[in-house]
Amino acid sequence: MDALMVETVGQPIIKGKRPIPTPSEGEVLIKVTVVGLNPYEHRVRDWGLYVEGRLPVVLGNDIAGTITSVGPNTPSHLKPGTHVFGQTNYLKRSNDQSGLQEYALLDAYTVAPVPSNLSDDDGASLVCNFITPFWAIFGADGLALPFPFEDEDEDKKAIEYGAQTIVVVGAGSNCGKYAVQICALAGFGRIIVTADAARSGNELRSYGATHVVDRHAGAEDVARQIRALVGDGLVYAFDAVNVDHTLGLSLLSDSRKGTLACIVPRMAELGDVGEKREGYEDRFVQGQSHNQPELGAKVWKWLPVWMEQGKVKSTGCGDVIEGLDVERVNKVLDDYRDGRQPPKQVHVHL
């Protein structure tokens, strides 16, 4: 089968050939129909992120498709012919679990049927863009907050989210938009976001943002506006886009220990973040369902339900690339590399 892969870090991806894999226990084989392209793919290509000496590496984590066969001990609702979407398991370090190829394997517990009222594009748009901020806010390596699942015992719902405030920096990005929806789903009382207010403000409010601060005001004015809202009480913040974590950290309380969860590693020297007399934490999070399997299984059980109920809304896709067009895919990754983020996720249709 055809596949798009990184052969040399820092060079354009190439098209190559791979064998069609066979599903093992707890896996499904899907005929790929849609793959979403994310900044993650450019980081693998250009930085060698998670490559760790295993070139060539096939790209593509946000996958939708049709199940063609299943391995032993696979849940009965996942059967051949079912349209599904799911997240690849990079912990297996296998190109079989990658999307930019004709067929791919996925672990059954991080796969869900595409709701009947939605499309494969809707499913593919959610995968990493939803899981990554969910893990940043509710995963053990991020803010580590308990998510109030509807089937959870009341005594486990330890936090009164209606009394809590969270700031989402970079809310106009794909991950940022889903972060707002996730915070609204949890019931945060105030969800303060930074974004291009003219372009994304109304959309973010429709997802649950209570305050939208225009990022074009400049870092100092953005910080001043948010400080006017939160005072010295902010302990939870999430940055969806920045290599410089100064803004997010500066918003945290100076008198209480706060945490900033980020999905882009810090690659810039910090500026003035304030006194922070009780300290702070700056946590980089990998948005991977498989590094917390119990939470992963729970989220993938509920995600299609939330989608069908309209509690989680697909942000959709923008441009569509037909087929494994290596030149056009490289162009999208070049745009991510050079800071030209597309307004919506670009999808590859197979």
Interval 150-169: pLDDT, tens: 887 665 557 899 999 999 99
Element holding 214 (H helix, E strand) = strand 211-214
Element holding 251 (H helix, E strand) = helix 246-251
Average pLDDT of span 310-314:
95
Do residues 248 and 237 touch, judged by C-beta distance below 8 A? Answer: yes
Question: How long is the chain?
Answer: 350
At residue 180 the predicted structure's pLDDT band, cuts being 50, 70 and 90, is: very high
How confident is the model over 202-216, as pLDDT tens digits? Answer: 999 999 999 999 999
Tokens representing 119? 């499309």
Dihedrals phi, psi of 4, to nearest 5 degrees: -105, 130
Helix axes 174-186, 197-207, angle to 10 degrees: 30
Nearest to 84 by CA among 33, 25, 134, 22: 33
How confident is the model over 76-119, as pLDDT tens digits? Answer: 999 999 999 999 987 888 999 999 999 999 999 999 999 999 99
Q: What percent of the chain has pLDDT over 70?
A: 98
How confident is the model over 130-154, as pLDDT tens digits? Answer: 999 999 999 999 999 999 998 876 6
Q: Which residues pair with 239 in a beta bridge?
A: 169, 262
Nearest to 172 by CA among 212, 136, 135: 212
- pLDDT of res. 49: 82
